[in-house]
A and B are shown apart, each in its own frame.
Chain A
Amino acid sequence: MRDPSAIGQVADTEQVTGVIRGDKVVADLENVVKDYPGPPQVRALDHASLRISQGELAAIVGPSGSGKTTLLQIMGTLDRPSSGRVEIAGYDVQSLSDRELSALRAQQIGFVFQQFFLLERESALENVANGLIYRGTNTDERRELAVHALERVGLSDRLHHRAAQLSGGERQRVAVARALVGRPAIVLADEPTGNLDTRRANEIIELLEDLNRDNVTIVVITHSQELADRLPRLIRIRDGRIVEDSGRPSSAARQPHDRA
């Protein structure tokens, strides 16, 4: 059994000037095209290329209809690209069957959704433990890991509250705990603050930043420029193209991404 206190941390990393960064690429997208069959056929992603390394906290920002949700779905292996190459946690998505993709999601990808998607009648603990059910983790271990994950997001006093009894901010914390309880290679957050007021939204962002300091790789999808500006890396998408990428903080800031 893994050390539960290690939730929110990723092993085999090096610490550089206060910020933990690894060189391992966890998401690698190359010339990804996604067409939705019409009529009219819609090109949601147009030769998008993107590389997310371990330990990054990146924002993908763009107006609605820009293709950012499609991008998240493809990074999350919920959908396959029409063409192009997608590699997640070292797996080439193209070569994987639907079953294998499910296993990949179970083991390597955590999701946070705008609508939280909690099971209302279940307790916070159950909801988080459910995040591990498809990994084959046994019940006792699931519960133990879920307790630690909820402690990590500051909800240790809400373990046995039903999801329906929690506030919006708390619900999103439960969802974050569920996303990270399995220590995935990457956490994808789709408008995680979209249903929250400013204060709760700030708390969630602070939580994500905090988790990122523990070397959790997080990609936040948002239409909010303000939120995107707060995060170390900003990827701007418009009409399915990546029009701006600040790249890794060490590289030159915010220059248009090379679509090679």
Chain B
Amino acid sequence: MPERLVPSRLSARNILRTAVVGVNTRRNRSIMSALGIAIGIAAIVGVLGLSNSSRSNLISQLNALGTNLIQVQPQSGIGVGNAQLPATAAGMIARIPHVEGVSQEIATSTNVYRSSYVPSEYTAGLSVAAVDTNLLTTLHGSIAQGHFLNAANIKYPVAVLGATAARALGIVSLGDNPTVSIGGQSFTVVGILKTFPLSPNLDSAALIGIPAAAMLGVADTPSTIDVRADPNNIDSVLAALAATANPENPDQVAATRPTAQLEAKAAATSTFTELLLGLGAVALLVGGVGIANIMVITVLERRSEIGLRRALGATRRHIMVQFITESLILATLGGVSGVLLGVIATVAFAESQSWGIIIPAEAIWGGLLAALLIGGLAGLYPAMRAARLSPTEALRST
């Protein structure tokens, strides 16, 4: 007997060469079946990219606002009655260790009007609050135009408008020293604020100095005390707050952290993300089924090619590898274009929201890996069918 017969091992290049034939021969169909995977991967990459970008936006907001803000308010509710914080509360709180800043707000029952001619019931939902000069620093707020209340003007009838209040009153510029009417008196508007993410109620308020408010007969019991604590000792500050603010009735003091809401929002976003990811996974699965379907049809249609290749000396394994590779090529095409689509969608949307763009690397390689995995699985059964086909059967079928 002559030398032993050993089938050749196809190099990766030759495997690709055999597999590309099929993809190339039916281009439209290849594109369509790759599209299924592309949509799934794009959905997953897009969802991960968008949720991460939006979360990073929330987190950067949180960082800007600081999670160390505590708001102290009188505890209201059944059995407590009309609780009030003592006028001395702010001064007492300032002495708690690790407290970095304190400012107080006093809600008033007066309203702000564009002029004294406006009927009193047209309040536009705007309120008037008396505040300290350091409120802006404590709340990390910022001024849009003009300046805030300061030691020089706090005793005089001047007002700083919240962003919503300014818009409602139709004051867009401080150019001609606009005035508003508060408690029947004319107040000069010296500043307009940007929005306060942590204290939205101030957005629709006109802020005046506490001494000026006293002239209008406003009591000096604070409605809210804003406390900045050392971020590492928030708990110890929280523990001491109630007893310090109102030693007689510590149970009438409520201390909350407004950033807790934003943190909850970030957490809620991630729940929603998981749901969308699930949908993306379903799309991917459907894409995989699409590829499997196409590959089954391809194998049926290309029996004669399989027969020819067996006649040319291809082993069953050669045929199997060819069709799995073909399926992998389709899935890779889909995966790569899906990742690109997902990235483009994320960048476009994040840009439109002026968020920072964050696309986790796991989304990209995870997407490609998922595509490959699905391609391999989808190609497995059709490839096995192709390999099982006997050469004579394959050649007979034309």
Interface residues of A (CB under 8 A from B): 73, 76, 78-79, 89-92, 96, 98-107, 109, 111, 113, 115, 117, 119-122, 130-131, 133-136, 139, 178
Contacts and interface: CB of A to CB of B under 8 A. Distances in A.
Interface of B: 1-2, 4-10, 13-14, 17-18, 21, 24-25, 304-305, 307-318, 390-392, 395, 398
Contacts of A103: 5-8, 313, 315
A119 B305 contact: yes
Given A113-B395, A121-B21, A134 B305 contact: no
B7 A91 contact: no
Contact of A78 (B2, B25, B311, B315): B311
B8 A111 contact: no
Given A99-B7, A102-B315, A117 B304 contact: yes
B307 A139 contact: no
Contact of A120 (B7, B10, B25): B25
Nearest to B18: A133
Nearest to B2: A90
A104 B310 CA distance: 11
A103 B6 CA distance: 6
A29 to B, nearest CB: 17
Contacts of B8: 103, 106, 134-136
Contacts of B310: 78, 102, 105
Most buried by A among B4, B8, B21: B8
A53 B318 CA distance: 31
B25 A119 contact: yes
Contacts of A92: 1
A98 B315 contact: yes
Contacts of B5: 91, 96, 100-101, 103-104, 107
A133 B392 contact: no
Contacts of B14: 133, 139
A195 to B, nearest CB: 11
A73 to B, nearest CB: 5
A185 to B, nearest CB: 10
B316 A134 contact: no
Contact of B390 (A79, A109, A111, A133): A79
A81 to B, nearest CB: 12
28 contacts: A78-B391, A79-B390, A89-B2, A92-B1, A96-B5, A99-B7, A99-B316, A99-B317, A100-B4, A100-B7, A101-B5, A102-B7, A102-B314, A103-B6, A105-B313, A106-B312, A107-B5, A111-B312, A117-B307, A119-B21, A119-B305, A120-B25, A134-B8, A134-B314, A134-B318, A135-B8, A136-B9, A136-B10
Contacts of A90: 1-2
Contact of A79 (B2, B21, B391): B391
Given A91-B1, A117-B304, A106 B391 contact: no
Counting from the closest, the 3 A-B pairs by CB-CB distance are A106-B313, A136-B8, A134-B313
Contacts of A121: 21, 24-25
Contact of B313 (A91, A96, A115, A135): A135
